Structure 1
Amino acid sequence: MESLQALFSSPAAWAALAALVVMEVVLGIDNLIFISILSNKLPEDQRARARRLGIGLALIMRLGLLSMIAWLVGLTAPVFDLGWQGDVGPGGLPSFETEFSWKDMILIAGGLFLIWKATKEIHHAVDPVPTGSVFEKGAGTAALSFSSVIVQIILLDLVFSIDSILTAVGMTDNLAVMVIAVLVAVTVMLLAAEPLANFINKNPTVVMLALGFLLMIGAVLIAEGFGVHVPKGYIYAAMAFSTVVEMLNMLSRRARQRGTGQAS
């Protein structure tokens, strides 16, 4: 209660809340793209349920991690050290850290999974799934594919949730601010899930663009796991630029289609 009173009475707390909400929403975009692409692989009557379940699990994980902040911060402590530091050559190379924490290993594993999954989806987009595959069989197999999709969403939810909460911890030490920011961000994800998934499903070129984003995000997660910090602003600026270019391409295609229709 005291934390909430401080929040509503302190301009600094409001500023921290606003900054953290924006950051959590931006970080949630990655998670939402992945959920949208995976849910669109399911039969139409299961997609909305998969998206709601995936986003609900993301909320539960984030709130659960917030309740274990001390444990979560401990994930950044080194677990093992490869002990490889070297000065090589006449001038010597700058030594680099070879210590790995649980957070680093989770980010590397999540990045590898994201790259593997995005590459697999790109392969299916270029070489369509043949008739009789898992996505074209009966209801029993569809239920199995639903479970598979949920498991994959849970795995990536875990990675994105840890990244999200560690970012929150680095921006503020006010637990109430972090909880409110997470609730707002997940609410935005829930509201945007259906329109985003439908938009991606109706525009095949957007699917390829989104998969390209996932490849880039996976590479960034691996880099951060190895201690190479990549400013998030560069990543999201590139994503925003690519999105604007694709929107211009879509408008151009629609204009040509209207012109063709009028000419005929």
Structure 2
Amino acid sequence: MDLMALVSDPAAWLALFTLIALEVVLGVDNLIFIAILSNKLPEHLQSKARRIGLALALVMRIGLLMLIGWLVTLTQPIFDLGLAGSATNHGEPAFETAFSGRDLILLAGGLFLLWKATKEIHHSMEPEDDSGDLLDKTPGAADAAKAAFGAVIAQIIAIDLVFSVDSILTAVGMTDEVPIMVAAVVITVGIMMVAADPLARFIEHNPTLVMLALAFLVMIGLVLIADGFGFHVPKGYIYAAMGFSVGVELLNIVQRQRRQRRKNA
């Protein structure tokens, strides 16, 4: 279908809006990770790191769309361990023993998220231990800042790859039209760029949200690992749990703010 036909096709617009909504929801995980990492940098580098990270995510996703024929092959098994998982009630294996390229990427990404989130939780529980900080934020630490900036961008690139592969494979499953997928990806990353700074500031100004966000990353890491082994957890359950947790934490924030105002009155 040519571009003009797509523009005049209501079904194409419906697919575009549906895909944008889905990509925005899927992009929340990526955005939380970028926000937590960038907040460890000096203030003048934080916004730059977020913009570069999201720009790299955009480039990576469009690049994968251009290689869509190769991307689809990532779902084909590369090797099989030959292990027989315990059968479910339907007679199917409880877990997959054949691993595709996508499975391996999800496993690596899940393990990386688990390692990173657990490490950050450990250091947030022991604030007197500064060894886990990416850098010393004292003035004059320019070399440390540059090294930390490079480390943050490298970690963002690694996790961008994981979320980009999953995101594009989801898009491929919803439409066959590459222009629609490209438009959805560009619009989604644009929305994420607009939301990145406010989200990062909100997390930084409410320290308890940092722990909640890290807990989300642990959960997402476990879900990615489970997905790599063939345990497909419905995304609706995950986002419902995240939404409920955020709602409870927002109530706690409002309660703390009201108590503080009463004390100051």
TM-score normalised to the size of structure 1? 0.94
Look up the match of 2:216.
213
Q: Is the 8 A contact 1:86 1:93 kept in 2?
A: no
Please state how far the C-alpha of 1:3 moved relative to its aligned partner.
3.3
Mapping of residues 44-193 of structure 1, within 5 Å? 44-85=43-84, 94-95=92-93, 96-128=95-127, 130=129, 135-136=135-136, 138-193=141-196
Look up the match of 2:33.
34
Structure 2 Cα separation of the partners of residues 180 and 4 of structure 1 = 12
TM-score normalised to the size of structure 2? 0.93
Please state how far the C-alpha of 1:7 moved relative to its aligned partner.
2.2
Look up the match of 1:19.
18
Q: Which amino acid aligns with 1:167?
A: T
Structure 1 Cα separation of the partners of residues 96 and 143 of structure 2 = 49
Structure 1 Cα separation of the partners of residues 26 and 134 of structure 2 = 32
Q: In structure 2, do the counterparts of structure 1 residues 86 and 21 end up closer, same or farther at CA, with 3 Å as the change threshold?
A: closer
Q: Aligned-pair RMSD on alpha carbons?
A: 1.8
Q: Which amino acid aligns with 1:107?
A: L
Structure 1 Cα separation of the partners of residues 43 and 240 of structure 2 = 33
Moved more, 230-239 or 121-130: 121-130
Q: Which amino acid aligns with 1:135?
A: L
Q: Structure 1, unaligned stretches of length 5 or more?
A: none
Q: Is the 8 A contact 1:78 1:102 kept in 2?
A: yes
Question: Partner of 1:79: helix, strand, or coil?
Answer: strand
Look up the match of 2:255.
252
Q: In structure 2, do the counterparts of structure 1 residues 10 and 131 end up closer, same or farther at CA, with 3 Å as the change threshold?
A: closer
Q: In structure 2, do the counterparts of structure 1 residues 129 and 75 end up closer, same or farther at CA, with 3 Å as the change threshold?
A: farther
Q: Which amino acid aligns with 1:205?
A: T
Look up the match of 2:228.
225
Please state how far the C-alpha of 1:226 moved relative to its aligned partner.
0.4
Q: Which amino acid aligns with 1:43?
A: P
Give % identity.
60
Please state how far the C-alpha of 1:130 moved relative to its aligned partner.
3.6
Question: Partner of 1:75: helix, strand, or coil?
Answer: helix
Q: Is the 8 A contact 1:39 1:51 kept in 2?
A: yes
Moved over 4 A (4+): 91-94, 131-134
Q: Which amino acid aligns with 1:183?
A: V
Aligned length: 259
Question: Partner of 2:79: helix, strand, or coil?
Answer: strand
